[in-house]
Every structure is written in structure tokens, then in C-alpha cells.
Copies of this chain bind each other. A is one copy, B any other.
């Protein structure tokens, strides 16, 4: 008797999508997700392990023991039903909304309650953050450019790099404007 089974969420499909390339452990899934989808869909261990159980109950993945010495390890393999479920989700054209949450942009929105100097410092902090994200994404680029990796992976990475570069450039314009106001040309 299977445990009460939950329906699938985007997180479930991320896991199925990763497993579509071959059997992986929960740990592998986390590592791979951190190097790819993390920037627009983050996963944590406390979501992955329970979800692997749920997918097993639904017959969409199958666990297989793959211990290495005393270290116990379970690989999960996607089943034909799993492949089917993944494909159904993929081709569903229902347009999900983009969700953006940016506390720093929120602060910028209320920045009239800050001094011009504080505003300027805030925009600079935002720029540092964006530049850091771009650096991180660029480090992944060689992986996504390899011939084993399908082109869509690189497309998505380039979208991410482009968006964060655009954001930084926008903030650069704003920084200039605010710096002129303050008389700070650092």
C-alpha cells in the first residue's frame, strides 16, 4: 500500500528532467541542479529526498542500490511512465508567470526615505551582486558549451548571463545619475 501520493510540482519535473539523462543519486541531482537550474529554480536536499520517494510511489522513477563499500547510495532511474510525464509537462504550453523577488529592488523602490549617499551606496551594492552572478554563470559556460550538452542548456545560460548583464548596465546608468547628484565621481 503506497503512502498518500502528492501530485507533481515543477520541482518534481526538475528531478525527472535530470534523471532523463541517466540514473543519479539524490546527491548528484543536488550537485547538477546547483550548477544549472539553481539560478531560476533552486532545489534543496529536504525537497529532493522526499520527492524521490513520491516519484517512486507514482512509478515514475525506480530506485536501485548502488552502494560504494560501506557508503550506502541509491541511484534513481526514470521509468517509461516518468519519461511520458516529463514530456507531457514540457509540451504543456500553459504560460506560467515569471516570478521575480528582489529585496534590494524593493529597497530601491522606497529609496526616497534614504539620503542620496545611501541611495548611491545601495545601487553600488546591487551592481556588485549582479557582477558576482555574471561571474558565476560565466564559469559554468564551458560546461554548457561542450558538445555533450544540448544547445538549449547553453541558450538558457546565455539568457541568464544576458539578463544579469543588462541589469548591471541599467544600474550603472543609475549610479552615474546618482553620483552626479551627490558630486561623487568615484
Chain A interfacial positions (CB closer than 8 Å to B): 10, 13-14, 17, 20, 36-37, 39-42, 83, 86-87, 89-91, 93, 95-114, 118-119, 121-122, 125-126, 128-130, 133, 150-153, 155-156, 158-159, 162-163, 166-167, 170-171, 174
Q: Is the interface of A mostly helix, strand, loop or mixed?
A: helix
Are A170 and B174 CB-contacts (below 8 A) given A10-B106, A106-B37?
no
Known: A86-B113, A158-B170. 10 other contacts (CB 8 A): A14-B106, A39-B100, A40-B100, A98-B104, A98-B133, A108-B156, A112-B151, A112-B152, A159-B167, A159-B170
Count of this chain's copies in the oligomeric assembly: 2
Q: A119–B40 contact, CB under 8 A? A: no
Measured CB to CB, the closest approach of chain B to A85, in angstroms, equals: 11
